[in-house]
Structure 1
Protein backbone atom coordinates (compact mmCIF):
# COMPACT_ATOMS: atom_id res chain seq x y z
CA UNK A 1 0.00 0.00 0.00
CA UNK A 2 1.18 3.53 -0.75
CA UNK A 3 2.48 5.41 2.29
CA UNK A 4 0.60 8.16 4.05
CA UNK A 5 2.24 11.58 3.80
CA UNK A 6 2.63 14.18 6.55
CA UNK A 7 4.60 16.90 4.82
CA UNK A 8 4.65 19.46 7.63
CA UNK A 9 4.97 18.49 11.29
CA UNK A 10 7.05 19.70 14.24
CA UNK A 11 8.43 16.42 15.59
CA UNK A 12 10.73 18.06 18.12
CA UNK A 13 7.82 19.83 19.84
CA UNK A 14 6.25 16.60 21.10
CA UNK A 15 7.18 15.60 24.64
CA UNK A 16 7.81 12.03 23.45
CA UNK A 17 9.27 13.00 20.06
CA UNK A 18 11.48 9.93 19.81
CA UNK A 19 8.49 7.59 20.13
CA UNK A 20 6.50 9.71 17.67
CA UNK A 21 9.35 9.35 15.16
CA UNK A 22 9.45 5.59 15.70
CA UNK A 23 5.70 5.33 15.16
CA UNK A 24 6.03 7.16 11.84
CA UNK A 25 8.39 4.49 10.56
CA UNK A 26 6.22 1.67 11.91
CA UNK A 27 3.05 3.12 10.33
CA UNK A 28 4.56 3.66 6.85
CA UNK A 29 4.28 7.45 6.93
CA UNK A 30 6.53 9.70 4.86
CA UNK A 31 7.30 12.77 6.98
CA UNK A 32 8.76 16.23 6.50
CA UNK A 33 9.67 17.37 10.03
CA UNK A 34 10.25 21.11 10.01
CA UNK A 35 12.27 23.06 12.55
CA UNK A 36 11.81 26.60 13.82
CA UNK A 37 15.49 27.46 14.37
CA UNK A 38 18.68 26.15 12.75
CA UNK A 39 19.99 25.25 16.21
CA UNK A 40 17.33 22.51 16.34
CA UNK A 41 18.28 20.93 13.01
CA UNK A 42 21.16 18.68 14.11
CA UNK A 43 19.31 17.63 17.27
CA UNK A 44 16.35 16.57 15.14
CA UNK A 45 18.60 14.66 12.76
CA UNK A 46 20.02 12.76 15.72
CA UNK A 47 16.54 11.93 17.08
CA UNK A 48 15.33 10.35 13.82
CA UNK A 49 18.52 8.49 13.01
CA UNK A 50 17.50 4.96 12.06
CA UNK A 51 13.86 5.95 11.39
CA UNK A 52 13.12 5.57 7.69
CA UNK A 53 10.95 8.02 5.78
CA UNK A 54 11.63 11.14 7.87
CA UNK A 55 13.21 14.27 6.40
CA UNK A 56 14.40 17.06 8.69
CA UNK A 57 13.97 20.62 7.45
CA UNK A 58 16.45 23.38 8.25
CA UNK A 59 14.32 26.33 9.28
CA UNK A 60 13.93 29.78 10.77
CA UNK A 61 10.26 30.30 11.55
CA UNK A 62 9.08 33.80 10.58
CA UNK A 63 7.41 34.27 13.95
CA UNK A 64 10.85 33.90 15.56
CA UNK A 65 12.88 35.66 12.86
CA UNK A 66 13.15 39.04 14.59
CA UNK A 67 14.43 37.68 17.90
CA UNK A 68 16.59 35.03 16.22
CA UNK A 69 17.86 37.06 13.25
CA UNK A 70 21.48 36.28 14.13
CA UNK A 71 20.70 32.58 13.58
CA UNK A 72 20.73 33.16 9.82
CA UNK A 73 24.51 32.80 9.92
CA UNK A 74 24.19 29.26 11.31
CA UNK A 75 21.51 28.54 8.69
CA UNK A 76 23.93 29.57 5.95
CA UNK A 77 26.62 27.28 7.37
CA UNK A 78 24.28 24.26 7.52
CA UNK A 79 22.37 24.70 4.28
CA UNK A 80 24.73 22.54 2.20
CA UNK A 81 24.02 19.56 4.47
CA UNK A 82 20.32 19.09 3.64
CA UNK A 83 17.92 19.10 0.71
CA UNK A 84 15.02 20.19 2.93
CA UNK A 85 14.27 23.73 4.11
CA UNK A 86 11.45 24.62 6.48
CA UNK A 87 9.74 26.15 8.16
CA UNK A 88 10.54 29.49 6.57
CA UNK A 89 8.55 32.37 5.11
CA UNK A 90 6.69 35.49 6.20
CA UNK A 91 3.89 36.21 8.68
CA UNK A 92 1.92 39.48 8.62
CA UNK A 93 -0.76 38.29 11.01
CA UNK A 94 -1.89 40.54 13.90
CA UNK A 95 0.73 39.25 16.33
CA UNK A 96 3.72 39.41 13.98
CA UNK A 97 3.28 42.10 11.32
CA UNK A 98 5.40 44.53 13.34
CA UNK A 99 8.47 42.35 12.72
CA UNK A 100 7.84 41.99 8.98
CA UNK A 101 10.94 43.92 7.90
CA UNK A 102 13.20 41.66 9.98
CA UNK A 103 11.34 38.64 8.62
CA UNK A 104 11.97 39.84 5.06
CA UNK A 105 15.70 40.24 5.71
CA UNK A 106 15.93 36.71 7.07
CA UNK A 107 13.74 35.24 4.32
CA UNK A 108 15.81 36.81 1.54
CA UNK A 109 19.00 35.35 2.99
CA UNK A 110 17.32 31.97 3.45
CA UNK A 111 16.30 31.84 -0.21
CA UNK A 112 19.65 33.10 -1.48
CA UNK A 113 21.50 30.47 0.53
CA UNK A 114 19.11 27.72 -0.55
CA UNK A 115 19.32 28.73 -4.22
CA UNK A 116 23.13 28.72 -4.15
CA UNK A 117 23.15 25.30 -2.53
CA UNK A 118 20.13 23.67 -4.28
CA UNK A 119 18.32 21.52 -5.13
CA UNK A 120 15.97 21.98 -2.18
CA UNK A 121 12.39 21.43 -1.14
CA UNK A 122 11.17 24.52 0.76
CA UNK A 123 8.15 24.44 3.09
CA UNK A 124 6.67 27.96 3.14
CA UNK A 125 4.71 29.78 5.84
CA UNK A 126 2.71 32.57 4.18
CA UNK A 127 0.19 34.05 6.62
CA UNK A 128 -1.22 37.19 4.96
CA UNK A 129 1.90 37.36 2.79
CA UNK A 130 1.11 35.06 -0.14
CA UNK A 131 1.40 37.88 -2.67
CA UNK A 132 4.76 39.06 -1.33
CA UNK A 133 6.17 35.54 -1.27
CA UNK A 134 4.97 34.81 -4.80
CA UNK A 135 6.40 38.12 -6.03
CA UNK A 136 9.78 37.07 -4.62
CA UNK A 137 9.64 33.57 -6.12
CA UNK A 138 8.61 34.85 -9.55
CA UNK A 139 11.08 37.71 -9.65
CA UNK A 140 14.20 36.06 -8.26
CA UNK A 141 13.87 32.28 -8.05
CA UNK A 142 11.94 31.06 -11.08
CA UNK A 143 15.09 29.41 -12.49
CA UNK A 144 16.55 28.14 -9.20
CA UNK A 145 16.15 24.45 -8.30
CA UNK A 146 13.92 25.28 -5.34
CA UNK A 147 10.76 23.21 -5.04
CA UNK A 148 8.26 25.20 -3.01
CA UNK A 149 5.46 23.76 -0.89
CA UNK A 150 2.81 26.17 0.39
CA UNK A 151 2.04 24.98 3.92
CA UNK A 152 -1.56 25.52 5.14
CA UNK A 153 -2.16 28.02 2.34
CA UNK A 154 -4.69 30.74 3.20
CA UNK A 155 -4.33 33.13 0.27
CA UNK A 156 -6.85 33.93 -2.45
CA UNK A 157 -7.90 31.78 -5.40
CA UNK A 158 -5.90 34.06 -7.71
CA UNK A 159 -2.82 33.65 -5.51
CA UNK A 160 -3.27 29.88 -5.50
CA UNK A 161 -3.37 29.96 -9.30
CA UNK A 162 -0.17 32.06 -9.33
CA UNK A 163 1.48 29.54 -7.02
CA UNK A 164 0.50 26.68 -9.31
CA UNK A 165 1.98 28.52 -12.32
CA UNK A 166 5.16 29.08 -10.28
CA UNK A 167 5.44 25.31 -9.77
CA UNK A 168 4.40 25.21 -6.12
CA UNK A 169 2.87 22.26 -4.30
CA UNK A 170 0.40 22.60 -1.41
CA UNK A 171 0.36 20.70 1.89
CA UNK A 172 -3.19 20.52 3.24
CA UNK A 173 -4.36 19.69 6.76
CA UNK A 174 -7.74 19.06 8.37
CA UNK A 175 -7.91 22.51 9.94
CA UNK A 176 -7.47 24.12 6.53
CA UNK A 177 -10.30 21.98 5.17
CA UNK A 178 -12.56 22.99 8.08
CA UNK A 179 -12.59 26.60 6.85
CA UNK A 180 -14.83 27.50 3.87
CA UNK A 181 -12.00 29.34 2.09
CA UNK A 182 -9.52 26.53 2.71
CA UNK A 183 -11.96 23.91 1.45
CA UNK A 184 -12.69 25.94 -1.71
CA UNK A 185 -8.98 26.35 -2.39
CA UNK A 186 -8.24 22.67 -1.81
CA UNK A 187 -11.10 21.62 -4.07
CA UNK A 188 -9.62 23.61 -6.95
CA UNK A 189 -5.96 22.63 -6.68
CA UNK A 190 -4.45 20.45 -9.41
CA UNK A 191 -4.44 16.83 -8.25
CA UNK A 192 -0.73 16.49 -9.01
CA UNK A 193 0.22 19.35 -6.64
CA UNK A 194 -1.47 18.16 -3.45
CA UNK A 195 0.24 16.78 -0.34
CA UNK A 196 -1.19 16.19 3.13
CA UNK A 197 0.10 17.43 6.49
CA UNK A 198 -0.90 17.68 10.15
CA UNK A 199 1.14 20.67 11.41
CA UNK A 200 1.17 18.76 14.69
CA UNK A 201 1.30 19.36 17.54
CA UNK A 202 -0.34 22.74 16.71
CA UNK A 203 -3.55 21.12 15.45
CA UNK A 204 -5.94 18.84 17.30
CA UNK A 205 -7.68 15.62 16.38
CA UNK A 206 -11.32 14.73 17.04
CA UNK A 207 -10.32 13.65 20.55
CA UNK A 208 -8.95 17.11 21.34
CA UNK A 209 -5.39 15.84 21.61
CA UNK A 210 -2.48 17.20 19.53
CA UNK A 211 -2.27 15.52 16.16
CA UNK A 212 0.61 13.24 15.23
CA UNK A 213 1.66 12.15 11.73
CA UNK A 214 -0.56 9.08 12.12
CA UNK A 215 -3.53 11.46 12.34
CA UNK A 216 -3.08 12.67 8.77
CA UNK A 217 -5.72 10.22 7.51
CA UNK A 218 -8.71 12.49 8.31
CA UNK A 219 -7.23 15.15 6.03
CA UNK A 220 -6.84 12.54 3.30
CA UNK A 221 -10.42 11.36 3.85
CA UNK A 222 -11.83 14.90 3.78
CA UNK A 223 -9.85 15.77 0.66
CA UNK A 224 -11.09 12.66 -1.12
CA UNK A 225 -14.69 13.47 -0.20
CA UNK A 226 -14.25 17.11 -1.25
CA UNK A 227 -12.80 16.12 -4.61
CA UNK A 228 -15.19 13.16 -5.07
CA UNK A 229 -12.47 10.56 -5.59
CA UNK A 230 -11.87 7.26 -3.75
CA UNK A 231 -9.66 7.72 -0.70
CA UNK A 232 -7.14 5.10 -1.80
CA UNK A 233 -6.90 6.65 -5.28
CA UNK A 234 -6.00 9.99 -3.70
CA UNK A 235 -3.58 8.31 -1.29
CA UNK A 236 -1.73 6.77 -4.25
CA UNK A 237 -1.73 10.12 -6.08
CA UNK A 238 -0.32 12.00 -3.08
CA UNK A 239 2.48 9.45 -2.69
CA UNK A 240 3.27 9.87 -6.40
CA UNK A 241 3.28 13.65 -5.96
CA UNK A 242 5.75 13.30 -3.10
CA UNK A 243 8.13 11.12 -5.08
CA UNK A 244 7.94 13.47 -8.08
CA UNK A 245 8.61 16.51 -5.90
CA UNK A 246 11.65 14.84 -4.35
CA UNK A 247 12.98 13.29 -7.55
CA UNK A 248 16.76 13.21 -7.38
CA UNK A 249 16.91 14.27 -3.73
CA UNK A 250 16.52 10.98 -1.83
Structure 2
Protein backbone atom coordinates (compact mmCIF):
# COMPACT_ATOMS: atom_id res chain seq x y z
CA UNK A 1 0.00 0.00 0.00
CA UNK A 2 1.19 3.51 -0.80
CA UNK A 3 1.11 5.51 2.44
CA UNK A 4 0.65 9.21 3.22
CA UNK A 5 1.94 11.03 6.32
CA UNK A 6 0.68 14.54 5.78
CA UNK A 7 1.97 15.98 9.06
CA UNK A 8 5.24 14.89 10.65
CA UNK A 9 7.96 16.88 12.41
CA UNK A 10 10.88 15.06 10.81
CA UNK A 11 13.42 17.60 12.03
CA UNK A 12 12.58 16.84 15.67
CA UNK A 13 13.89 13.27 15.45
CA UNK A 14 17.53 12.59 16.34
CA UNK A 15 17.97 10.73 13.03
CA UNK A 16 16.37 13.45 10.92
CA UNK A 17 18.39 12.87 7.76
CA UNK A 18 18.03 9.09 7.95
CA UNK A 19 14.28 9.43 8.45
CA UNK A 20 13.91 11.62 5.37
CA UNK A 21 15.83 9.00 3.40
CA UNK A 22 13.73 6.17 4.85
CA UNK A 23 10.45 7.87 4.00
CA UNK A 24 11.62 8.44 0.44
CA UNK A 25 12.94 4.89 0.05
CA UNK A 26 9.63 3.43 1.26
CA UNK A 27 7.65 5.71 -1.06
CA UNK A 28 5.70 7.37 1.76
CA UNK A 29 4.47 10.81 0.79
CA UNK A 30 5.56 12.77 3.86
CA UNK A 31 4.95 16.42 4.63
CA UNK A 32 7.77 17.62 6.87
CA UNK A 33 6.17 20.46 8.80
CA UNK A 34 8.31 23.00 10.62
CA UNK A 35 7.65 25.07 13.74
CA UNK A 36 9.76 28.10 12.86
CA UNK A 37 10.94 29.63 9.59
CA UNK A 38 14.51 29.36 10.85
CA UNK A 39 14.17 25.58 10.38
CA UNK A 40 13.14 25.97 6.75
CA UNK A 41 16.52 25.93 5.02
CA UNK A 42 17.68 22.55 6.30
CA UNK A 43 14.28 20.91 5.83
CA UNK A 44 13.98 22.23 2.31
CA UNK A 45 17.51 21.16 1.40
CA UNK A 46 16.91 17.56 2.49
CA UNK A 47 13.42 17.30 1.02
CA UNK A 48 14.36 18.83 -2.32
CA UNK A 49 16.54 15.84 -3.19
CA UNK A 50 13.69 13.34 -2.64
CA UNK A 51 10.70 12.16 -4.65
CA UNK A 52 8.24 11.71 -1.80
CA UNK A 53 9.16 14.16 0.99
CA UNK A 54 8.04 17.79 0.90
CA UNK A 55 8.92 20.53 3.38
CA UNK A 56 6.35 22.98 4.74
CA UNK A 57 7.13 26.49 5.98
CA UNK A 58 5.74 26.98 9.46
CA UNK A 59 5.42 29.28 12.44
CA UNK A 60 3.75 27.25 15.17
CA UNK A 61 1.12 29.12 17.20
CA UNK A 62 2.54 27.70 20.43
CA UNK A 63 5.81 29.53 19.68
CA UNK A 64 4.31 32.84 18.60
CA UNK A 65 4.69 34.50 22.02
CA UNK A 66 8.48 34.22 21.74
CA UNK A 67 8.99 34.10 17.97
CA UNK A 68 6.34 36.37 16.49
CA UNK A 69 8.98 38.61 14.93
CA UNK A 70 9.96 35.70 12.67
CA UNK A 71 6.83 36.35 10.63
CA UNK A 72 8.93 38.77 8.57
CA UNK A 73 11.33 35.93 7.68
CA UNK A 74 8.37 33.62 7.04
CA UNK A 75 6.92 36.05 4.54
CA UNK A 76 10.24 36.35 2.70
CA UNK A 77 10.55 32.56 2.40
CA UNK A 78 7.00 31.82 1.26
CA UNK A 79 7.83 32.01 -2.44
CA UNK A 80 10.13 28.99 -2.02
CA UNK A 81 7.37 26.49 -1.21
CA UNK A 82 3.86 25.36 -2.02
CA UNK A 83 3.35 23.89 1.46
CA UNK A 84 2.71 25.85 4.66
CA UNK A 85 2.67 24.37 8.16
CA UNK A 86 2.46 24.13 10.99
CA UNK A 87 0.45 27.31 11.37
CA UNK A 88 -2.83 28.29 13.03
CA UNK A 89 -4.14 29.11 16.49
CA UNK A 90 -3.95 27.49 19.94
CA UNK A 91 -6.38 28.67 22.60
CA UNK A 92 -5.38 26.07 25.16
CA UNK A 93 -4.65 27.25 28.72
CA UNK A 94 -0.87 27.39 28.21
CA UNK A 95 -1.07 29.57 25.12
CA UNK A 96 -4.24 31.62 25.43
CA UNK A 97 -2.34 34.64 26.73
CA UNK A 98 -0.73 35.06 23.30
CA UNK A 99 -4.00 34.75 21.36
CA UNK A 100 -4.05 38.34 20.10
CA UNK A 101 -0.53 37.94 18.78
CA UNK A 102 -1.38 34.53 17.32
CA UNK A 103 -4.32 36.03 15.43
CA UNK A 104 -2.13 38.84 14.12
CA UNK A 105 0.50 36.37 12.86
CA UNK A 106 -2.01 33.92 11.39
CA UNK A 107 -3.82 36.74 9.61
CA UNK A 108 -0.54 37.80 7.99
CA UNK A 109 0.11 34.20 6.97
CA UNK A 110 -3.31 33.91 5.37
CA UNK A 111 -3.00 37.23 3.58
CA UNK A 112 0.39 36.23 2.18
CA UNK A 113 -1.00 32.90 1.00
CA UNK A 114 -3.99 34.59 -0.60
CA UNK A 115 -1.72 36.97 -2.45
CA UNK A 116 0.62 34.21 -3.61
CA UNK A 117 -2.10 31.72 -4.53
CA UNK A 118 -1.84 27.95 -4.79
CA UNK A 119 -0.60 27.23 -1.26
CA UNK A 120 -1.61 24.18 0.80
CA UNK A 121 -1.76 24.80 4.56
CA UNK A 122 -1.53 22.28 7.42
CA UNK A 123 -3.43 23.95 10.24
CA UNK A 124 -3.34 23.68 14.03
CA UNK A 125 -6.65 24.68 15.66
CA UNK A 126 -6.68 23.53 19.30
CA UNK A 127 -9.72 25.06 21.03
CA UNK A 128 -9.80 27.62 18.24
CA UNK A 129 -11.50 26.03 15.22
CA UNK A 130 -14.28 28.66 14.93
CA UNK A 131 -11.78 31.53 14.94
CA UNK A 132 -9.51 29.74 12.46
CA UNK A 133 -12.48 29.30 10.14
CA UNK A 134 -13.51 32.93 10.62
CA UNK A 135 -10.05 34.09 9.57
CA UNK A 136 -9.97 31.78 6.55
CA UNK A 137 -13.31 33.17 5.42
CA UNK A 138 -12.16 36.75 6.00
CA UNK A 139 -8.74 36.53 4.38
CA UNK A 140 -8.78 33.87 1.65
CA UNK A 141 -10.87 34.40 -1.49
CA UNK A 142 -12.34 31.16 -2.79
CA UNK A 143 -9.83 29.06 -4.71
CA UNK A 144 -6.72 30.94 -3.58
CA UNK A 145 -5.49 28.29 -1.10
CA UNK A 146 -6.29 24.82 0.25
CA UNK A 147 -6.50 23.80 3.89
CA UNK A 148 -5.85 20.62 5.84
CA UNK A 149 -6.89 20.60 9.49
CA UNK A 150 -4.29 18.56 11.36
CA UNK A 151 -5.51 16.51 14.36
CA UNK A 152 -8.87 18.28 14.35
CA UNK A 153 -10.45 18.49 17.82
CA UNK A 154 -13.28 20.92 17.16
CA UNK A 155 -16.98 20.23 17.40
CA UNK A 156 -19.10 18.36 14.86
CA UNK A 157 -20.53 21.72 13.79
CA UNK A 158 -17.01 23.11 13.30
CA UNK A 159 -16.13 20.05 11.21
CA UNK A 160 -19.18 20.49 9.00
CA UNK A 161 -18.34 24.15 8.52
CA UNK A 162 -14.76 23.29 7.56
CA UNK A 163 -15.93 20.61 5.16
CA UNK A 164 -18.39 23.08 3.57
CA UNK A 165 -15.42 25.39 2.99
CA UNK A 166 -13.63 22.58 1.15
CA UNK A 167 -11.13 21.78 3.89
CA UNK A 168 -9.41 18.43 4.32
CA UNK A 169 -8.56 16.65 7.59
CA UNK A 170 -5.39 14.70 8.41
CA UNK A 171 -6.09 12.06 11.05
CA UNK A 172 -3.81 9.97 13.25
CA UNK A 173 -3.96 6.87 15.40
CA UNK A 174 -4.62 8.76 18.62
CA UNK A 175 -7.70 10.39 17.12
CA UNK A 176 -9.03 6.95 16.18
CA UNK A 177 -8.35 5.52 19.63
CA UNK A 178 -11.30 7.33 21.25
CA UNK A 179 -15.05 7.08 20.73
CA UNK A 180 -15.28 10.82 20.15
CA UNK A 181 -12.49 10.75 17.59
CA UNK A 182 -13.99 7.82 15.71
CA UNK A 183 -17.41 9.50 15.69
CA UNK A 184 -15.87 12.65 14.26
CA UNK A 185 -13.94 10.80 11.56
CA UNK A 186 -17.07 8.83 10.65
CA UNK A 187 -18.95 12.09 10.16
CA UNK A 188 -16.37 13.61 7.80
CA UNK A 189 -16.63 13.32 4.02
CA UNK A 190 -14.47 10.35 3.05
CA UNK A 191 -13.07 12.27 0.09
CA UNK A 192 -11.51 14.83 2.48
CA UNK A 193 -9.51 12.43 4.67
CA UNK A 194 -5.72 12.19 4.79
CA UNK A 195 -3.51 10.36 7.28
CA UNK A 196 -0.72 11.66 9.50
CA UNK A 197 1.48 10.62 12.40
CA UNK A 198 2.25 14.02 13.96
CA UNK A 199 5.44 12.29 15.04
CA UNK A 200 7.29 12.47 17.31
CA UNK A 201 4.28 13.68 19.34
CA UNK A 202 2.45 10.36 18.94
CA UNK A 203 3.73 6.89 19.72
CA UNK A 204 3.86 3.50 18.09
CA UNK A 205 4.34 1.12 20.99
CA UNK A 206 7.11 2.49 23.19
CA UNK A 207 8.68 4.63 20.46
CA UNK A 208 7.75 7.88 18.72
CA UNK A 209 5.67 7.20 15.62
CA UNK A 210 7.51 7.44 12.31
CA UNK A 211 6.05 7.92 8.83
CA UNK A 212 6.18 4.15 8.19
CA UNK A 213 3.81 3.70 11.15
CA UNK A 214 1.02 5.56 9.37
CA UNK A 215 -0.07 2.18 8.04
CA UNK A 216 -1.63 1.58 11.46
CA UNK A 217 -3.80 4.65 10.97
CA UNK A 218 -4.85 3.35 7.56
CA UNK A 219 -6.02 0.11 9.19
CA UNK A 220 -7.87 1.95 11.97
CA UNK A 221 -9.52 4.22 9.40
CA UNK A 222 -10.63 1.15 7.46
CA UNK A 223 -12.25 -0.31 10.56
CA UNK A 224 -13.91 2.98 11.46
CA UNK A 225 -15.35 3.48 7.97
CA UNK A 226 -16.19 -0.17 7.33
CA UNK A 227 -13.91 -0.66 4.33
CA UNK A 228 -10.81 -2.75 3.64
CA UNK A 229 -7.32 -1.54 4.47
CA UNK A 230 -6.51 -1.54 0.76
CA UNK A 231 -9.48 0.69 -0.01
CA UNK A 232 -8.62 2.94 2.93
CA UNK A 233 -5.10 3.47 1.58
CA UNK A 234 -6.46 4.03 -1.93
CA UNK A 235 -8.96 6.63 -0.69
CA UNK A 236 -6.24 8.59 1.11
CA UNK A 237 -3.99 8.49 -1.93
CA UNK A 238 -6.80 9.69 -4.20
CA UNK A 239 -7.52 12.51 -1.79
CA UNK A 240 -3.88 13.53 -1.74
CA UNK A 241 -3.75 13.63 -5.52
CA UNK A 242 -6.91 15.74 -5.62
CA UNK A 243 -5.51 18.12 -3.00
CA UNK A 244 -2.18 18.58 -4.75
CA UNK A 245 -3.33 18.66 -8.37
TM-score scaled by length of structure 1 = 0.96
User: In 1, are the aligned partners of 2:110 and 2:139 still within 8 Å (CA)?
Assistant: no
> Could you tell me which residue of structure 1 aligns to residue 241 of structure 2?
243
For 1:67, what is the secondary structure of its paired residue? helix
Superposition deviation, residue 139 in structure 1: 2.8
The aligned residue for residue 106 of structure 1 is 105
Q: How many residues align?
A: 245
Distance between the aligned counterparts of 2:24 and 2:82, measured in 1?
Answer: 20
Residue 29 of structure 1, CA deviation: 0.4
Distance 1:144 1:243 in 2: 17
Please tell me whether the aligned partners of residues 7 and 30 of structure 1 are also in contact (alpha carbons under 8 angstroms): yes
Q: Is the 8 A contact 1:7 1:195 kept in 2?
A: yes
CA drift of 1:144 comes to: 4.5
Deviation sequence 1:137-158 (CA, Å, 0-9, x none):
1233142421000000000111
Q: Give the structure 1 partner of residue 175 of structure 2.
A: 176
Aligned-partner Cα distance in 2 for 1:51–1:13: 19
Contact 2:119 2:144 in 1 (8 A): yes
| Secondary structure of 1:114's aligned partner | helix
Equivalent-residue separation in structure 2 for 1:57 and 1:109 (angstroms): 17
Q: CA RMSD in A?
A: 1.0
- Residue 64 of structure 2 is aligned to residue 68 of structure 1: no
Contact kept, 8 Å, 2:61 with 2:87, in 1: the verdict is yes
SS of match in other structure, 1:242: helix
Residue 229 (structure 2) aligns with: 231
If each structure's helix is expressed as a fraction of its own residues, which one has the higher value?
2
**Does structure 2 conserve the Cα–Cα contact (< 8 Å) formed by 1:29 and 1:214?**
yes
- Distance (Å, rounded) in 1 between the aligned partners of 2:130 and 2:230: 34
SS class of match (2:208): coil
* Whole-angstrom CA distance in 2 between matches of 1:100 and 1:179: 28
Deviations 1:71-107 (Å, cap 9, x if unpaired)? 0000110111110000000000111111111111110
> Which residue of structure 2 aligns with residue 161 of structure 1?
160
Consecutive unaligned residues in structure 2, runs of 5 or more: none
- For 1:142 and 1:158, locate their aligned partners in 2 and report how far apart those are by CA, in whole Å: 22
Secondary structure at 1:107 match in 2: helix
SS of residue in 2 equivalent to 1:22 = helix
Q: CA deviation at 1:25?
A: 1.1
Distance in 2 (CA, whole Å) between partners of 1:19 and 1:104 is 36
| 1:26 to partner: Cα distance | 1.4
Q: Secondary structure at the match of 1:200?
A: coil
Residue of structure 2 equivalent to 1:83: 82
Deviation, structure 1 residue 118: 1.6
Q: Is the 8 A contact 2:48 2:54 kept in 1?
A: no
Does residue 210 of structure 2 align to residue 212 of structure 1? yes
Whole-Å separation in 1 of the counterparts to 2:179 and 2:231: 24
Q: Distance in 1 between matches of 2:212 and 2:79?
A: 30
Unaligned runs of 5+ in 1: none
Q: How far, CA to CA, are the matches of 2:49 and 2:33 in structure 1? A: 18
C-alpha separation in 2, matches of 1:106 and 1:219:
32
Q: Is the 8 A contact 1:83 1:118 kept in 2?
A: no
